[in-house]
Amino acid sequence: KIGWILVGASTVAREWMVDAIGQQGDAEVLAVVSRDAARGAAFAAQFGIAASYTDLDAALAHPGADAVYISTTNEWHMSQTLQAARAGKHVLCEKPLALNLEDARRMVDGCAEAGVVLGINHHLRNAATHGKVRELIRAGEIGQPLYCRVLHANNLPQHLRGWRLDAPESGGVTLDMFVHDVDTLRFLLDSEPRHVTACATSGGMTVAGLEEGLMAVIEFDNGTLVQVHDAYNAPHSLSGVEIIGSKGTIFATGVMTQRPVGSISLTRDGGSIDIPVEHENLYVRSVRAFQRAMRGEGQPAATGDDGMRALATALAAQQASRSHQRVTLAG
């Protein structure tokens, strides 16, 4: 069995990842790491995990540990990834990969030098819906993609209204949600973001200066113009992705979510049809791809490079909204 160490007694681990690892059949969570001994012990007890640690090095030395899943707050991702890599453990890290591109580069290089797999838990590219949309685009069903709209504004759940709203290193909605949109768009469009223009709001739910709502336009290398809307303070808003091509339009409704739900319609001359989707838990797929990569079978669903590109675009959007300038990404 693949032995996992959870770094961070976090909500995302609690709600999704303990189960996703458990569902693999050939994997086991051996220990959890928390800065708070009582929180770690309670987390371990809740999920029947044998050990909890407050010290990462001690956890990395746990017998049978092969991989770590890092879901601490963002400012810890870089140092903990490098620590795990140096101990020879494969790393599945949460997004945003890091707080800046220099740190992200160190993580990618550090894992490569240590010969361990680095994967980023950009869950949306694991959704059956997004996979199907990608297939339709690649099969030419809508011709050349021209425009795209991403609706990802929602209501930040009460239990997540902590560090996201007041810690500068959270990066607000830009490093929290927009970063996922960019990864999804790169996956769907098979193209790279080139220029970003953005406006943001803050100071209602977040502290002043930390973005809670973002509207951005991304110009992709293949010419597609993309409009993205993310928000923490938009209850009752719909989620979806619309891709308008030269021959047709795909509308994927309810797909910007952690849950395996949503539907797809394809509209062309002659009318609209519903596209069937076989849903599967996104996080189960993420862990499955990561474990295959550990065995030398392909890449994680999102690689360190994918994490870097999503981060670079999110930082560009942050810069664009703060400076009111269009920002061009490096090639």
Residue 312 identity (one-letter amino acid): A
Per CB under 6 A, the segment of 2-10, 21-29, 142-150, 301-309 that binds ligand NDP is 2-10
Rounded to the nearest whole angstrom, what is the least distance from the CB of residue 37 to ligand NDP in the complex? 9
**Interface with ligand NDP (CB under 6 A), residue from 20, 65, 71, 313:** 71
- Asked if 250 contacts 231 with a C-beta cutoff of 8 angstroms, the reply is no
DSSP state of 330: P
Q: Does 135 bind ligand NDP (CB under 6 A)?
A: no
Q: Does 263 bind ligand NDP (CB under 6 A)?
A: no
- Three-state secondary-structure class, residue 157: coil
| Minimal distance, residue 272 CB to ligand NDP, in Å | 30
Stretch binding ligand NDP (CB under 6 A), from 66-74, 107-115, 147-155, 205-213: 66-74
Q: Among 160, 207, 238, 273, which residue interacts with ligand NDP (rule: CB under 6 A)?
A: 160
Query: Quick check: 39 binds ligand NDP (CB under 6 A)?
Result: yes
Residue 190 C-beta: closest distance to ligand NDP, Å? 22
Six-digit token string for 153: 């504004």
Part of the chain binding ligand NDP (CB under 6 A), chosen from 5-13, 143-151, 192-200, 273-281: 5-13
Site for ligand NDP contains 162 (CB under 6 A): yes
The verdict on 123 binding ligand NDP (CB under 6 A) reads yes
Contact between 121 and ligand NDP by CB under 6 A: the answer reads yes
Smallest distance from ligand NDP to CB 48, Å: 18
Handedness of CA 51, 84, 291, 189 (dihedral sign): positive
Amino acid letter at 276?
P
- Kind and range of the H or E element at 197? strand 193-202
The token duo for 136 is 């339709």
Least distance CB 54 / ligand NDP (angstroms): 8
DSSP-derived letter for residue 273 is E
Q: CA-CA distance, 57 to 321, in Å (whole number)? A: 39
**Distance in angstroms (rounded) separating the CA atoms of residues 278 and 7:** 32
Find the binding residues for ligand NDP in span 242-261 (CB under 6 A).
258
Query: Which residue number, 137 or 151, has a Cβ lying nearer to ligand NDP?
Result: 151
Pairing outcome for strands 248-253 and 51-53: unpaired
Residue partners of 147: CB distance under 8 A and separation at least 6: 224, 225, 226, 227, 243, 244
Give residues 166-225 in contact with ligand NDP (rule: CB under 6 A).
Answer: 176
Reference 315, options 329, 331, 300; nearest CA is 329
Binding-site ranges for ligand NDP (CB under 6 A): 8-12, 34-36, 39, 71-74, 94-95, 121, 123, 160, 162, 176, 258
